[in-house]
Amino acid sequence: MPVAHTEERLLSLLATLEECRDFLTDKASPETARLLSLAILELKMELHQVTDAELKALCDLMTSQAQTPQEVRLASGRPLPPYLKLVK
């Protein structure tokens, strides 16, 4: 399957999953909605080619009050990619 078509299908699936999550949050089961949110996050990471290490570095940046954004680096020592910069 061509990459563009695959990405298009994944984006469509993502929109459907987000609608399901919203319904579950509002009407049925918040716990199930949280699980679906994890699936949505995983899919978005795959679509945008975000690695687990990049996500962890971003989370560390968001939870750390002591470090400035310039100090946060991936475990490999590289700075965060520009698309993961924290905007305050």
User: Which residues face 73 on adjacent strands?
Assistant: 79
The tally of CA atoms less than 13 A away on the side-chain side of residue 7 is 8
Structure token digits, residue 16: 């459907």
Please state the pTM of the whole predicted model.
0.64
What is the pLDDT, as a whole number, of residue 21?
A: 94
Q: Are 17 and 36 in contact (CB under 8 A)?
A: yes
Split the chain (88 residues) into runs of 10 and give each run's mean pLDDT.
79 94 89 92 91 86 62 64 60
